[in-house]
A and B are shown apart, each in its own frame.
Chain A
Protein backbone atom coordinates (compact mmCIF):
# COMPACT_ATOMS: atom_id res chain seq x y z
CA UNK A 1 0.00 0.00 0.00
CA UNK A 2 1.51 3.30 -1.06
CA UNK A 3 1.71 6.09 1.46
CA UNK A 4 0.65 9.60 0.49
CA UNK A 5 1.49 13.05 1.73
CA UNK A 6 -1.80 13.20 3.65
CA UNK A 7 -1.04 9.85 5.38
CA UNK A 8 2.28 11.22 6.63
CA UNK A 9 0.69 14.41 7.94
CA UNK A 10 -2.05 12.36 9.61
CA UNK A 11 0.45 10.03 11.27
CA UNK A 12 2.54 13.02 12.37
CA UNK A 13 -0.52 14.64 13.92
CA UNK A 14 -1.57 11.42 15.67
CA UNK A 15 1.98 11.06 17.02
CA UNK A 16 2.08 14.76 18.00
CA UNK A 17 5.25 15.09 15.98
CA UNK A 18 5.87 18.41 14.26
CA UNK A 19 6.46 17.77 10.55
CA UNK A 20 6.44 20.55 7.98
CA UNK A 21 4.97 20.12 4.49
CA UNK A 22 8.46 19.94 3.00
CA UNK A 23 9.60 17.35 5.56
CA UNK A 24 6.47 15.29 4.91
CA UNK A 25 7.40 15.16 1.25
CA UNK A 26 10.75 13.60 2.13
CA UNK A 27 9.10 11.10 4.48
CA UNK A 28 6.68 10.02 1.72
CA UNK A 29 9.66 8.68 -0.21
CA UNK A 30 11.35 6.94 2.77
CA UNK A 31 8.15 5.52 4.19
CA UNK A 32 6.93 4.31 0.80
CA UNK A 33 10.07 2.24 0.33
CA UNK A 34 9.73 0.80 3.84
CA UNK A 35 6.07 -0.05 3.27
CA UNK A 36 6.92 -1.60 -0.10
CA UNK A 37 9.25 -3.96 1.76
CA UNK A 38 6.63 -4.59 4.44
CA UNK A 39 3.95 -5.33 1.83
CA UNK A 40 5.71 -8.66 1.19
CA UNK A 41 3.93 -9.94 4.29
CA UNK A 42 0.79 -10.30 2.19
CA UNK A 43 2.50 -13.11 0.21
CA UNK A 44 2.05 -15.45 3.17
CA UNK A 45 -1.24 -17.20 3.88
CA UNK A 46 -2.00 -16.66 7.56
CA UNK A 47 -5.56 -17.91 7.65
CA UNK A 48 -6.18 -19.52 11.01
CA UNK A 49 -2.84 -18.39 12.48
CA UNK A 50 -3.24 -16.70 15.85
CA UNK A 51 -1.26 -13.46 16.26
CA UNK A 52 1.76 -13.75 18.59
CA UNK A 53 2.33 -10.67 20.72
CA UNK A 54 4.60 -12.18 23.40
CA UNK A 55 7.46 -14.37 22.19
CA UNK A 56 6.87 -16.90 24.97
CA UNK A 57 3.12 -16.79 24.31
CA UNK A 58 2.72 -15.66 27.91
CA UNK A 59 -0.16 -13.63 29.24
CA UNK A 60 0.27 -10.44 31.21
CA UNK A 61 0.55 -11.26 34.91
CA UNK A 62 -1.54 -9.12 37.24
CA UNK A 63 -0.75 -8.20 40.82
CA UNK A 64 -3.08 -7.18 43.60
CA UNK A 65 -4.28 -3.58 43.24
CA UNK A 66 -2.24 -2.29 46.16
CA UNK A 67 0.10 0.69 46.36
CA UNK A 68 3.61 -0.72 46.76
CA UNK A 69 5.85 2.12 45.64
CA UNK A 70 6.97 4.92 47.93
CA UNK A 71 5.91 8.50 47.08
CA UNK A 72 8.91 9.98 45.23
CA UNK A 73 7.18 12.99 43.73
CA UNK A 74 9.90 15.46 44.81
CA UNK A 75 12.63 13.32 43.24
CA UNK A 76 10.78 12.95 39.98
CA UNK A 77 9.78 16.60 39.78
CA UNK A 78 13.38 17.74 40.23
CA UNK A 79 14.06 16.58 36.67
CA UNK A 80 10.93 18.15 35.16
CA UNK A 81 11.20 21.19 32.86
CA UNK A 82 8.76 23.27 34.96
CA UNK A 83 6.85 22.59 38.18
CA UNK A 84 5.05 24.54 40.90
CA UNK A 85 3.36 23.39 44.11
CA UNK A 86 3.86 19.74 43.21
CA UNK A 87 2.32 20.15 39.75
CA UNK A 88 3.84 19.96 36.28
CA UNK A 89 3.52 23.25 34.42
CA UNK A 90 2.47 23.36 30.78
CA UNK A 91 0.99 26.17 28.61
CA UNK A 92 -2.53 27.14 29.63
CA UNK A 93 -5.08 24.71 28.16
CA UNK A 94 -8.35 26.44 29.14
CA UNK A 95 -8.53 30.24 28.90
Chain B
Protein backbone atom coordinates (compact mmCIF):
# COMPACT_ATOMS: atom_id res chain seq x y z
CA UNK B 1 0.00 0.00 0.00
CA UNK B 2 2.90 2.37 0.74
CA UNK B 3 3.79 2.61 -2.97
CA UNK B 4 0.39 3.86 -4.08
CA UNK B 5 -0.62 7.41 -4.91
CA UNK B 6 -3.42 9.20 -3.08
CA UNK B 7 -5.69 8.67 -6.10
CA UNK B 8 -4.95 4.92 -6.10
CA UNK B 9 -5.51 4.69 -2.34
CA UNK B 10 -8.80 6.60 -2.70
CA UNK B 11 -9.95 4.05 -5.28
CA UNK B 12 -8.82 1.17 -3.02
CA UNK B 13 -10.76 2.56 -0.06
CA UNK B 14 -13.85 3.15 -2.21
CA UNK B 15 -13.68 -0.38 -3.60
CA UNK B 16 -13.31 -1.86 -0.11
CA UNK B 17 -9.91 -3.40 -0.92
CA UNK B 18 -8.71 -2.18 2.47
CA UNK B 19 -9.98 0.04 5.26
CA UNK B 20 -8.50 3.34 6.41
CA UNK B 21 -7.62 1.64 9.69
CA UNK B 22 -5.62 -1.02 7.84
CA UNK B 23 -3.92 1.58 5.68
CA UNK B 24 -3.13 3.83 8.64
CA UNK B 25 -1.79 0.97 10.78
CA UNK B 26 0.39 -0.23 7.95
CA UNK B 27 1.93 3.24 7.46
CA UNK B 28 2.40 3.80 11.19
CA UNK B 29 4.28 0.49 11.31
CA UNK B 30 6.38 1.61 8.38
CA UNK B 31 7.19 4.93 10.09
CA UNK B 32 8.25 3.01 13.22
CA UNK B 33 10.54 0.80 11.14
CA UNK B 34 12.12 3.32 8.78
CA UNK B 35 11.91 6.78 10.27
CA UNK B 36 14.68 6.34 12.86
CA UNK B 37 17.11 6.28 9.90
CA UNK B 38 15.46 9.22 8.11
CA UNK B 39 14.35 11.52 10.96
CA UNK B 40 11.55 12.84 8.78
CA UNK B 41 9.00 13.09 11.60
CA UNK B 42 9.21 15.23 14.75
CA UNK B 43 5.95 13.91 16.20
CA UNK B 44 3.95 10.82 15.24
CA UNK B 45 0.32 10.91 16.38
CA UNK B 46 -0.44 7.20 16.14
CA UNK B 47 -3.37 6.88 18.56
CA UNK B 48 -5.12 9.94 17.17
CA UNK B 49 -4.53 8.68 13.62
CA UNK B 50 -6.16 5.32 14.37
CA UNK B 51 -9.20 7.11 15.85
CA UNK B 52 -9.47 9.36 12.80
CA UNK B 53 -9.13 6.34 10.49
CA UNK B 54 -11.88 4.48 12.34
CA UNK B 55 -14.12 7.54 12.11
CA UNK B 56 -13.46 7.70 8.35
CA UNK B 57 -14.29 3.99 7.99
CA UNK B 58 -17.52 4.50 9.92
CA UNK B 59 -18.52 7.36 7.61
CA UNK B 60 -17.77 5.19 4.60
CA UNK B 61 -20.03 2.44 5.96
CA UNK B 62 -22.82 5.01 6.19
CA UNK B 63 -22.18 6.03 2.58
CA UNK B 64 -20.99 9.49 3.60
CA UNK B 65 -17.33 9.32 2.58
CA UNK B 66 -15.80 12.02 0.44
CA UNK B 67 -12.92 11.60 -2.00
CA UNK B 68 -10.25 12.25 0.68
CA UNK B 69 -11.98 10.31 3.48
CA UNK B 70 -9.60 8.00 5.28
CA UNK B 71 -6.50 9.06 3.35
CA UNK B 72 -3.40 9.54 5.52
CA UNK B 73 -1.13 12.55 5.33
CA UNK B 74 1.31 14.50 7.50
CA UNK B 75 1.88 18.18 8.23
CA UNK B 76 5.12 20.09 8.26
CA UNK B 77 5.59 21.04 11.89
CA UNK B 78 4.84 24.67 11.07
CA UNK B 79 1.05 24.13 10.88
CA UNK B 80 -0.72 24.52 14.21
CA UNK B 81 -2.52 21.30 15.16
CA UNK B 82 -4.74 21.50 18.21
CA UNK B 83 -3.49 19.47 21.16
CA UNK B 84 -0.31 18.43 19.35
CA UNK B 85 3.20 19.85 19.68
CA UNK B 86 3.89 22.39 16.93
CA UNK B 87 7.58 23.19 17.15
CA UNK B 88 8.52 24.80 13.81
CA UNK B 89 11.72 22.77 14.20
CA UNK B 90 12.83 25.05 17.06
CA UNK B 91 13.85 24.62 20.69
CA UNK B 92 11.84 27.80 21.20
CA UNK B 93 8.58 25.91 20.54
CA UNK B 94 9.63 22.44 21.69
CA UNK B 95 7.04 22.65 24.51
CA UNK B 96 4.34 24.42 22.47
CA UNK B 97 1.05 22.52 22.24
CA UNK B 98 -1.02 24.43 19.72
CA UNK B 99 -4.39 25.56 21.14
CA UNK B 100 -6.06 25.65 17.72
CA UNK B 101 -5.85 24.22 14.21
CA UNK B 102 -4.48 26.04 11.18
CA UNK B 103 -7.19 26.63 8.58
CA UNK B 104 -5.66 24.10 6.16
CA UNK B 105 -5.56 21.49 8.93
CA UNK B 106 -9.20 22.20 9.71
CA UNK B 107 -10.16 21.95 6.03
CA UNK B 108 -8.32 18.69 5.46
CA UNK B 109 -9.74 17.21 8.68
CA UNK B 110 -13.20 18.22 7.52
CA UNK B 111 -12.48 16.42 4.23
CA UNK B 112 -11.83 13.26 6.25
CA UNK B 113 -8.05 12.92 5.99
CA UNK B 114 -6.07 11.17 8.71
CA UNK B 115 -3.03 12.93 10.18
CA UNK B 116 -0.09 10.67 10.96
CA UNK B 117 1.92 13.47 12.55
CA UNK B 118 4.24 16.40 12.08
CA UNK B 119 7.26 16.39 9.82
CA UNK B 120 10.75 17.71 10.44
CA UNK B 121 11.86 21.05 9.02
CA UNK B 122 14.52 23.73 9.14
CA UNK B 123 13.97 25.92 12.19
CA UNK B 124 11.19 28.43 11.43
CA UNK B 125 11.50 27.33 7.76
CA UNK B 126 14.91 28.98 7.42
CA UNK B 127 17.08 26.73 5.31
CA UNK B 128 17.63 24.91 2.05
CA UNK B 129 18.90 21.58 3.36
CA UNK B 130 17.01 20.65 6.53
CA UNK B 131 20.20 20.81 8.53
CA UNK B 132 18.90 23.66 10.71
CA UNK B 133 16.33 21.70 12.71
CA UNK B 134 16.58 21.52 16.51
CA UNK B 135 15.59 17.86 16.05
CA UNK B 136 18.54 17.05 13.82
CA UNK B 137 18.91 16.78 10.05
CA UNK B 138 16.61 14.75 7.82
CA UNK B 139 18.26 12.18 5.53
CA UNK B 140 17.38 11.83 1.87
CA UNK B 141 15.74 8.41 1.28
CA UNK B 142 17.62 8.08 -2.04
CA UNK B 143 20.92 8.21 -0.18
CA UNK B 144 21.24 8.91 3.57
CA UNK B 145 24.46 10.87 3.10
CA UNK B 146 22.50 13.50 1.13
CA UNK B 147 20.25 16.31 2.30
CA UNK B 148 16.54 16.07 1.43
CA UNK B 149 16.37 19.80 0.70
CA UNK B 150 14.71 22.38 2.88
CA UNK B 151 12.83 23.63 4.61
CA UNK B 152 10.01 21.11 3.98
CA UNK B 153 12.59 18.30 3.82
CA UNK B 154 10.81 16.14 6.38
CA UNK B 155 7.61 16.19 4.32
CA UNK B 156 9.51 15.43 1.10
CA UNK B 157 11.54 12.60 2.61
CA UNK B 158 8.48 11.02 4.27
CA UNK B 159 6.58 10.97 0.96
CA UNK B 160 9.60 9.72 -1.03
CA UNK B 161 10.20 6.90 1.45
CA UNK B 162 6.57 5.80 1.32
CA UNK B 163 5.92 6.62 4.98
CA UNK B 164 2.94 8.72 3.97
CA UNK B 165 1.37 9.25 0.54
CA UNK B 166 1.22 13.05 0.86
CA UNK B 167 2.29 15.82 3.19
CA UNK B 168 1.87 19.54 3.50
CA UNK B 169 4.76 21.93 3.17
CA UNK B 170 5.31 25.65 3.08
CA UNK B 171 7.32 27.60 0.54
CA UNK B 172 8.87 30.99 1.34
CA UNK B 173 11.75 30.89 -1.14
CA UNK B 174 11.47 27.41 -2.64
CA UNK B 175 10.87 25.25 0.42
CA UNK B 176 8.30 23.01 -1.28
CA UNK B 177 9.79 22.85 -4.78
CA UNK B 178 13.47 22.33 -3.94
CA UNK B 179 12.96 19.42 -1.47
CA UNK B 180 10.39 17.92 -3.85
CA UNK B 181 13.08 18.03 -6.55
CA UNK B 182 15.78 16.55 -4.30
CA UNK B 183 13.52 13.70 -3.15
CA UNK B 184 11.84 12.90 -6.49
CA UNK B 185 8.29 13.87 -5.63
CA UNK B 186 5.78 16.50 -6.86
CA UNK B 187 5.39 19.75 -4.92
CA UNK B 188 3.16 22.73 -5.67
CA UNK B 189 3.59 26.27 -4.35
CA UNK B 190 0.26 27.95 -5.04
CA UNK B 191 -0.25 31.63 -5.81
CA UNK B 192 0.29 33.83 -2.74
CA UNK B 193 -3.07 34.17 -1.01
CA UNK B 194 -4.67 31.11 -2.65
CA UNK B 195 -4.30 28.98 0.51
CA UNK B 196 -4.88 30.40 3.98
CA UNK B 197 -1.83 31.21 6.10
CA UNK B 198 -3.90 31.25 9.32
CA UNK B 199 -2.28 28.99 11.89
CA UNK B 200 0.88 28.64 9.87
CA UNK B 201 3.81 29.84 11.98
CA UNK B 202 5.00 32.95 10.16
CA UNK B 203 8.50 33.36 8.77
CA UNK B 204 8.17 36.04 6.06
CA UNK B 205 4.50 36.97 5.78
CA UNK B 206 4.52 38.41 2.25
CA UNK B 207 6.24 35.30 0.86
CA UNK B 208 5.03 32.26 2.88
CA UNK B 209 2.56 29.97 1.15
CA UNK B 210 1.30 26.48 2.04
CA UNK B 211 1.10 23.77 -0.59
CA UNK B 212 0.78 20.03 -1.21
CA UNK B 213 3.66 17.57 -1.62
CA UNK B 214 2.78 14.16 -3.06
CA UNK B 215 3.83 11.67 -5.70
CA UNK B 216 1.84 13.09 -8.58
CA UNK B 217 0.22 16.25 -9.87
CA UNK B 218 -3.14 14.47 -9.68
CA UNK B 219 -2.63 13.95 -5.92
CA UNK B 220 -1.66 17.61 -5.48
CA UNK B 221 -4.86 18.57 -7.33
CA UNK B 222 -6.96 16.43 -4.98
CA UNK B 223 -5.41 18.15 -1.96
CA UNK B 224 -5.73 21.63 -3.46
CA UNK B 225 -9.47 21.08 -3.84
CA UNK B 226 -9.70 20.80 -0.06
CA UNK B 227 -7.04 23.39 0.86
CA UNK B 228 -7.64 26.38 -1.39
CA UNK B 229 -10.03 29.24 -0.77
CA UNK B 230 -10.62 32.49 1.04
CA UNK B 231 -10.27 32.63 4.81
CA UNK B 232 -11.65 35.62 6.66
CA UNK B 233 -9.15 34.94 9.46
CA UNK B 234 -6.21 35.56 7.11
CA UNK B 235 -6.05 39.13 5.84
CA UNK B 236 -3.63 38.08 3.08
CA UNK B 237 -6.01 35.45 1.75
CA UNK B 238 -7.63 36.19 -1.61
CA UNK B 239 -11.38 36.09 -2.18
CA UNK B 240 -11.73 34.44 -5.55
CA UNK B 241 -13.53 31.37 -6.89
CA UNK B 242 -11.71 28.08 -6.46
CA UNK B 243 -11.77 25.82 -9.53
CA UNK B 244 -11.97 22.03 -9.35
CA UNK B 245 -8.27 21.30 -9.75
CA UNK B 246 -8.91 17.68 -10.75
CA UNK B 247 -10.99 18.73 -13.75
CA UNK B 248 -8.99 19.34 -16.89
CA UNK B 249 -5.91 17.41 -15.74
CA UNK B 250 -5.91 15.42 -18.99
CA UNK B 251 -6.41 18.37 -21.32
CA UNK B 252 -4.05 17.93 -24.33
CA UNK B 253 -1.07 20.26 -24.56
CA UNK B 254 -1.25 20.98 -28.30
CA UNK B 255 -0.23 24.57 -28.89
CA UNK B 256 1.07 25.11 -25.34
CA UNK B 257 3.64 27.91 -25.41
CA UNK B 258 6.57 27.14 -23.10
CA UNK B 259 9.04 29.89 -22.25
CA UNK B 260 12.59 28.91 -21.30
CA UNK B 261 14.16 31.75 -19.30
CA UNK B 262 17.70 32.13 -20.63
CA UNK B 263 18.85 33.17 -17.15
CA UNK B 264 17.83 29.72 -15.80
CA UNK B 265 20.28 27.89 -18.07
CA UNK B 266 23.49 29.81 -17.42
CA UNK B 267 26.49 29.66 -15.14
CA UNK B 268 26.03 27.61 -11.98
CA UNK B 269 23.63 25.06 -13.45
CA UNK B 270 25.04 21.54 -13.22
CA UNK B 271 25.32 20.13 -16.78
CA UNK B 272 23.57 16.86 -15.86
CA UNK B 273 20.62 18.81 -14.41
CA UNK B 274 20.43 20.92 -17.57
CA UNK B 275 20.45 17.77 -19.74
CA UNK B 276 17.57 16.25 -17.76
CA UNK B 277 15.52 19.46 -17.87
CA UNK B 278 16.05 19.93 -21.60
CA UNK B 279 15.03 16.31 -22.16
CA UNK B 280 11.81 16.98 -20.23
CA UNK B 281 11.16 20.01 -22.44
CA UNK B 282 11.64 17.78 -25.51
CA UNK B 283 8.92 15.48 -24.14
CA UNK B 284 6.62 18.49 -24.07
CA UNK B 285 7.53 19.32 -27.65
CA UNK B 286 6.60 15.77 -28.62
CA UNK B 287 3.23 16.39 -26.93
CA UNK B 288 2.58 19.38 -29.20
CA UNK B 289 4.10 22.25 -27.21
CA UNK B 290 6.06 25.10 -28.73
CA UNK B 291 9.25 26.32 -27.02
CA UNK B 292 10.30 29.97 -26.97
CA UNK B 293 13.34 31.57 -25.32
CA UNK B 294 12.39 34.35 -22.93
CA UNK B 295 14.30 36.59 -20.57
CA UNK B 296 13.74 37.42 -16.90
CA UNK B 297 16.36 40.16 -16.73
CA UNK B 298 16.28 40.76 -12.97
CA UNK B 299 16.77 37.10 -12.00
CA UNK B 300 20.21 37.71 -10.49
CA UNK B 301 18.68 40.27 -8.12
CA UNK B 302 16.18 37.82 -6.62
CA UNK B 303 18.49 36.38 -3.96
CA UNK B 304 19.83 39.76 -2.79
CA UNK B 305 16.27 41.16 -2.64
CA UNK B 306 15.00 38.08 -0.80
CA UNK B 307 17.77 38.28 1.82
CA UNK B 308 16.64 41.77 2.69
CA UNK B 309 12.87 41.26 2.58
CA UNK B 310 12.60 37.82 4.22
CA UNK B 311 14.90 38.54 7.20
CA UNK B 312 13.22 41.93 7.69
CA UNK B 313 9.80 40.28 7.93
CA UNK B 314 11.27 37.45 10.03
CA UNK B 315 12.79 39.88 12.52
CA UNK B 316 9.32 41.34 13.06
CA UNK B 317 7.45 38.00 13.12
CA UNK B 318 9.90 36.35 15.50
CA UNK B 319 9.71 39.19 18.00
CA UNK B 320 6.74 37.37 19.55
CA UNK B 321 9.06 34.69 20.95
CA UNK B 322 10.00 36.49 24.13
CA UNK B 323 9.38 33.87 26.82
CA UNK B 324 6.31 35.65 28.21
CA UNK B 325 3.20 33.96 26.80
CA UNK B 326 4.25 30.61 25.33
CA UNK B 327 7.26 28.59 24.31
CA UNK B 328 10.70 28.42 25.89
CA UNK B 329 11.69 30.64 28.82
CA UNK B 330 15.23 30.90 30.22
CA UNK B 331 15.95 29.93 33.84
CA UNK B 332 15.84 32.55 36.60
CA UNK B 333 15.82 35.82 34.64
CA UNK B 334 17.01 38.75 36.73
CA UNK B 335 14.92 41.38 34.95
CA UNK B 336 12.66 41.72 31.92
CA UNK B 337 15.44 42.53 29.48
CA UNK B 338 17.44 39.54 30.71
CA UNK B 339 14.32 37.38 30.22
CA UNK B 340 13.95 38.52 26.61
CA UNK B 341 17.61 38.36 25.67
CA UNK B 342 18.51 35.03 27.24
CA UNK B 343 15.25 33.35 26.20
CA UNK B 344 15.90 34.30 22.58
CA UNK B 345 19.63 33.55 22.73
CA UNK B 346 18.98 30.07 24.15
CA UNK B 347 15.81 29.29 22.20
CA UNK B 348 16.87 30.19 18.65
CA UNK B 349 19.44 28.38 16.54
CA UNK B 350 22.28 29.95 14.59
CA UNK B 351 20.57 30.51 11.23
CA UNK B 352 17.53 32.09 12.86
CA UNK B 353 19.75 34.45 14.84
CA UNK B 354 21.65 35.38 11.69
CA UNK B 355 18.43 36.31 9.88
CA UNK B 356 17.03 38.23 12.85
CA UNK B 357 20.24 40.24 13.03
CA UNK B 358 20.30 40.94 9.29
CA UNK B 359 16.62 41.88 9.30
CA UNK B 360 16.92 44.14 12.32
CA UNK B 361 20.02 45.81 10.89
CA UNK B 362 18.52 46.50 7.46
CA UNK B 363 15.34 47.91 9.01
CA UNK B 364 17.21 50.11 11.47
CA UNK B 365 17.64 53.87 11.24
CA UNK B 366 20.05 54.88 8.49
CA UNK B 367 19.81 51.62 6.55
CA UNK B 368 16.09 51.29 5.73
CA UNK B 369 16.09 53.13 2.39
CA UNK B 370 19.33 51.59 1.12
CA UNK B 371 18.18 48.07 1.83
CA UNK B 372 14.49 47.54 2.49
CA UNK B 373 12.96 50.16 0.22
CA UNK B 374 15.43 49.30 -2.54
CA UNK B 375 14.65 45.57 -2.25
CA UNK B 376 10.91 46.26 -2.46
CA UNK B 377 11.45 48.33 -5.62
CA UNK B 378 13.45 45.53 -7.19
CA UNK B 379 10.74 43.12 -6.14
CA UNK B 380 8.37 45.05 -8.40
CA UNK B 381 10.81 44.78 -11.32
CA UNK B 382 11.12 41.01 -10.75
CA UNK B 383 7.34 40.65 -10.74
CA UNK B 384 7.09 42.73 -13.91
CA UNK B 385 9.60 40.39 -15.62
CA UNK B 386 7.18 37.50 -15.04
CA UNK B 387 4.14 39.51 -16.19
CA UNK B 388 6.00 40.43 -19.40
CA UNK B 389 6.98 36.79 -19.97
CA UNK B 390 3.43 35.52 -19.43
CA UNK B 391 2.21 37.98 -22.06
CA UNK B 392 4.18 35.86 -24.56
CA UNK B 393 3.98 32.29 -23.17
CA UNK B 394 1.59 30.11 -21.16
CA UNK B 395 4.13 28.62 -18.76
CA UNK B 396 7.82 28.90 -17.97
CA UNK B 397 10.04 25.89 -17.44
CA UNK B 398 13.47 25.36 -15.96
CA UNK B 399 15.32 23.53 -13.22
CA UNK B 400 13.99 23.63 -9.66
CA UNK B 401 17.54 23.71 -8.29
CA UNK B 402 20.99 24.18 -9.85
CA UNK B 403 22.23 20.80 -8.60
CA UNK B 404 20.87 17.51 -7.38
CA UNK B 405 20.80 16.82 -3.62
CA UNK B 406 24.18 17.59 -2.06
CA UNK B 407 26.07 15.95 0.80
CA UNK B 408 25.02 16.66 4.38
CA UNK B 409 27.38 19.21 5.93
CA UNK B 410 28.90 20.22 2.59
CA UNK B 411 27.63 23.84 2.51
CA UNK B 412 29.03 25.54 5.60
CA UNK B 413 29.05 29.05 4.09
CA UNK B 414 25.57 30.59 4.45
CA UNK B 415 25.90 32.62 1.24
CA UNK B 416 26.74 29.49 -0.78
CA UNK B 417 23.69 27.82 0.76
CA UNK B 418 21.48 30.79 -0.15
CA UNK B 419 22.52 30.47 -3.83
CA UNK B 420 20.81 27.06 -3.89
CA UNK B 421 17.50 28.87 -4.26
CA UNK B 422 18.40 30.89 -7.36
CA UNK B 423 15.59 29.38 -9.47
CA UNK B 424 12.87 29.37 -6.81
CA UNK B 425 13.10 32.61 -4.84
CA UNK B 426 11.91 35.04 -7.54
CA UNK B 427 8.64 33.09 -7.75
CA UNK B 428 7.84 33.92 -4.11
CA UNK B 429 8.78 37.57 -4.58
CA UNK B 430 6.35 37.73 -7.53
CA UNK B 431 3.69 35.61 -5.79
CA UNK B 432 3.14 33.35 -8.82
CA UNK B 433 2.55 29.57 -8.57
CA UNK B 434 5.21 26.97 -9.32
CA UNK B 435 5.38 23.19 -9.33
CA UNK B 436 8.33 20.81 -9.29
CA UNK B 437 7.90 17.40 -10.93
CA UNK B 438 10.39 14.52 -11.07
CA UNK B 439 12.16 14.65 -14.44
CA UNK B 440 15.19 12.41 -14.25
CA UNK B 441 17.79 10.69 -12.13
CA UNK B 442 21.48 11.51 -12.17
CA UNK B 443 23.65 9.03 -10.26
CA UNK B 444 20.47 7.89 -8.50
CA UNK B 445 19.72 11.48 -7.43
CA UNK B 446 16.38 12.96 -8.56
CA UNK B 447 16.12 16.04 -10.77
CA UNK B 448 13.12 18.37 -10.57
CA UNK B 449 11.56 20.21 -13.50
CA UNK B 450 10.04 23.49 -12.35
CA UNK B 451 6.96 24.78 -14.16
CA UNK B 452 5.73 28.30 -13.49
CA UNK B 453 2.46 29.97 -14.35
CA UNK B 454 0.75 33.34 -13.99
CA UNK B 455 -1.08 34.28 -10.78
CA UNK B 456 -3.92 31.82 -10.05
CA UNK B 457 -2.76 29.51 -12.86
CA UNK B 458 -2.47 26.45 -10.59
CA UNK B 459 -5.10 24.42 -12.45
CA UNK B 460 -3.20 24.83 -15.71
CA UNK B 461 0.14 24.01 -14.04
CA UNK B 462 -1.36 20.81 -12.64
CA UNK B 463 -2.68 19.94 -16.10
CA UNK B 464 0.75 20.56 -17.68
CA UNK B 465 2.46 18.48 -14.99
CA UNK B 466 -0.10 15.67 -15.11
CA UNK B 467 0.11 15.19 -18.87
CA UNK B 468 3.92 14.94 -18.56
CA UNK B 469 3.47 12.31 -15.85
CA UNK B 470 1.22 10.31 -18.17
CA UNK B 471 4.00 10.34 -20.76
CA UNK B 472 6.94 9.56 -18.46
CA UNK B 473 7.62 7.38 -15.44
CA UNK B 474 10.04 9.50 -13.36
CA UNK B 475 7.34 10.03 -10.72
CA UNK B 476 7.03 6.26 -10.35
CA UNK B 477 10.68 5.73 -9.48
CA UNK B 478 11.23 4.97 -5.80
CA UNK B 479 14.34 5.00 -3.62
CA UNK B 480 15.52 1.56 -2.62
CA UNK B 481 14.62 1.04 1.02
CA UNK B 482 15.46 -2.25 2.69
CA UNK B 483 12.19 -3.62 4.09
Q: How many Å from the CB of A40 to the closest CB on chain B?
A: 5
Q: Mostly helix, strand, loop or mixed at chain A's interface?
A: loop
Interface 1/0s, chain A 66-95, versus B by CB < 8 A?
Answer: 000000100110111110000010111100
Most chain A CB within 10 A, of B339, B357, B378, is at B357
Which A residue's beta carbon lies closest to that of B346? A18
Residue of A31, A79, A93 touching B326 (CB-CB under 8 A): A79
Q: How far is the CA of A76 from the CA of B2 in the complex (A)?
A: 38
Q: How far is the CA of A39 from the CA of B301 in the complex (A)?
A: 10
Q: Which of B440-474 contact A (CB under 8 A)?
A: 455
Interface 1/0s, chain B 401-424, versus A by CB < 8 A?
Answer: 000000000000111001000000
> Total contacts A to B, CB within 8 angstroms?
174
Interface 1/0s, chain A 24-46, versus B by CB < 8 A?
Answer: 00010011011101111110101
Q: Which of B292-312 contact A (CB under 8 A)?
A: 298, 300-301, 303-305, 307-308
Report the interface size class on chain B. 35 or more
Asked whether, in the complex, the Cβ of B206 is within 8 Å of the Cβ of A15, the reply is no
Asked whether, in the complex, the Cβ of B324 is within 8 Å of the Cβ of A88, the reply is yes
User: How many residues of A are in contact with the other chain, CB < 8 A?
Assistant: 52
Interface 1/0s, chain B 256-292, versus A by CB < 8 A?
Answer: 0000000000000000000000000000000000000
Q: Mostly helix, strand, loop or mixed at chain B's interface?
A: helix
Residue of B97, B238, B304, B373 touching A37 (CB-CB under 8 A): B304
Residue of B344, B348, B375 touching A41 (CB-CB under 8 A): B375
Asked whether, in the complex, the Cβ of A91 is within 8 Å of the Cβ of B333, the reply is yes
Could you name 8 residue pairs across A and B whose Cβ atoms are closer than 8 Å? Answer: A14-B364, A15-B356, A27-B354, A38-B371, A40-B304, A91-B335, A91-B336, A91-B338
Give me 12 other A-B pairs in contact (C-beta within 8 A), A41-B301, A55-B432 excluded: A17-B341, A17-B348, A19-B345, A33-B414, A38-B304, A44-B378, A50-B380, A53-B376, A55-B430, A56-B192, A76-B99, A81-B324
**Which B residues lie at the A interface, using CB under 8 A?**
95-97, 99, 191-193, 206-207, 232, 235-236, 238, 298, 300-301, 303-305, 307-308, 315, 319, 322-327, 329, 333-342, 344-346, 348, 353-354, 356-358, 360-362, 364, 367, 370-371, 373-381, 383, 413-415, 418, 428-432, 455
